[in-house]
Amino acid sequence: MALDTVTPTFPSEQFCRSVVRFLDALEYEDDNLTLDERVQGLRYVHSKTAEYFTQALPRETLKRVHPERIAAVTRTISHFIIYCWSRVPRDVQVEISIYLSIINVLDDEINADPNEQMGSFWVDLLQGKQQKHPFWLLMNARLPTLLSHYGSFCSFNIMRCTFDYFEGCWIEQHNFRGYPGSDRYPDFLRRLNCLGGAVGGTMFPAVDFDDQKLFREFACVMAQIDGPVALMNDLFSFYKEFNLDEANLVSNWCAVDGISLDQALERLTDETIHACQQILSVFKDKDPSVLATIRTFIRGYVTWHFCDLRYRLREVYDAAKDHGPVGAKFRQYFEKALDVGWVDLDQWTLTPPENHLSLNGAEVDIDPAQELNPAQVNGAEISEAPAAHEAIAVGG
C-alpha cells in the first residue's frame, strides 16, 4: 500500500522538533503493559463495549447512526482505555469504554443544533422525566452503572464534565473561533470539551482509592488534569488538523491573539510540557498510587497517539527522514512507541463468519483487504482499520 505523504505546506520539521522537545522533557517511556496484557485487555474491553451497542435502548436510539461508525468508535475507544487506564480493574475499564463510546458515537448529534431538544432539559432532569436528546437518553440510562464504581467526589466530577462536554459541543457547532481580544475564549472552550474531569474522575475507582482520604489529592488532580488531557492531544493532532477550516485551540489562539500558526505551535509545545511536568511534580511526594496512576495515563496517552492511525503520524515519520537529527529523533520515538504499543487488529477484534456482522439491526460487510491494510514502518507491519480517521472526543 502506498503511504500518504505529508501535506506540502505543513511545517513538518518544526512539528518534529516540537514533539521531540515534549517527549525529551517528559522522558517518555511506556512500561505500562506487556504485549500479552494489551492483547487480552483489548479483546475483553472491545467485546463488551461492542456488546453494549446490541442492546435494545442503544439500538433504538442509534438506529440512524451508521453501523460502521459504531464499530469504528468501539475499536478506537477500547484501544484508548487499555493504553491509558491500564491500572483500572477490567470491569471498570468496560464501563469507561461504554461511556466514552456513547459520547463519540453521538458526537455528530451534539454538533447539530440541540436547542429545540434541550428546551425542557432542566425541568425533565429535575422531575425525573425522560430526556429528548439521544445523548442524554443513553447517558441517563448508563451513567448510574459507571458512577457506582466511584466515590462521591470523583462521581461529581464525572457528571460535571459530562455537562461541560455537551456545552462545548453546542458551542463548537457554530465553528466560532472567538472575537479578537477575547483571550480567555480558546482555553474556556478547550476546557469544556476536553473531558479532563471525566478522565481525572475515572482514573480512581473506589475499589482502589478512598476519595475522602485522598480528597486534597483528587481536588488538585481535577485542577491540573485538563492541561495534559487537552494539550497532549492538541499537539499530536496538529498534523491531522492542519489546514482544516475548523475551530480548535490552535486556530482560536491565532484568531483572538493575532499570532501565526508557527507561534501557536511553539506556545502549544511550551504549555504541553509545562502541564505534564507540573502535574507530575505536584504529586511526586504525595500518595504514590495517585502519582503512578497519573504517570501511567500520560505514558499510555503518548503511545496511543502514535499507534492510532487517525493521527496520521506515520506520514510525518516518513517525511522526518529529511529533517536531520531532529527528524531522526522523532523517528526513534515513533518506533519506540510502536515497539511497545502496536497490536494488529486481527489479534483483538472478532472476525465474524463470512466477513459480516449484525450491528444496530443492519448487516455490516467487512472487506478483509480494507480491514487490514498493511504498511511497513521500521520493519514492522502495521495495519489500518476502516474509518481510521474518525473524530474522537477527549481531545479531538
Q: Is 172 annotated as a binding residue?
A: yes
Q: Is 24 annotated as contributing to ligand binding? A: no
Angle between helices 324-341 and 12-26 (to 10 degrees): 60
Does 287 count as an annotated binding residue? no
Note whether 327 and 292 are within 8 A (CB). Answer: no
**What is the rounded CA–CA span in Å between residue 110 and residue 89?**
30
Residue 214: Cβ within 10 Å count: 19
Does 344 carry a binding-site annotation?
no
> Residue 312: phi, psi to the nearest 5?
60, 30
Q: What are the strands, taking DSSP E only, across the chain?
A: 356-359, 362-365, 373-377, 380-384
Cβ 280 vs Cβ 287: under 8 Å: no
Torsional sign, CA 10, 14, 18, 19: positive
Distances (CA, A) of 296 to 28, 202, 293: 11, 13, 5
Distance of alpha carbon 45 from alpha carbon 13, whole angstroms: 37
Contact 103, 393 (CB under 8 A): yes
Query: Is 241 annotated as contributing to ligand binding?
Result: yes
* CA terminus-to-terminus distance, the chain: 27
* Phi-psi domain of 254 (left: phi exceeds 0; alpha: psi -120 through 50; beta: other): alpha
Distance of CA 247 to the CA centre of its chain: 18
CA distances from 69 to 44, 73, 206, 317, 388 (A): 20, 6, 33, 28, 10
At residue 201, φ and ψ (nearest 5 deg) are -65, -40
C-alpha angle 263-388-227 in degrees, rounded to nearest 5: 40
DSSP 102-140: HHHHTHHHHHS--TTTTTTHHHHHHTTPPPSSHHHHHHH
Distance between CA atoms of 289 and 107, rounded to whole angstroms?
Answer: 33
Q: Which of 110, 112, 113 is nearest to 137 (CA)?
A: 110
Residue numbering of the annotated binding site for Mg(2+): 107, 172, 233, 237, 241, 245
Residue numbering of the annotated binding site: 107, 172, 233, 237, 241, 245
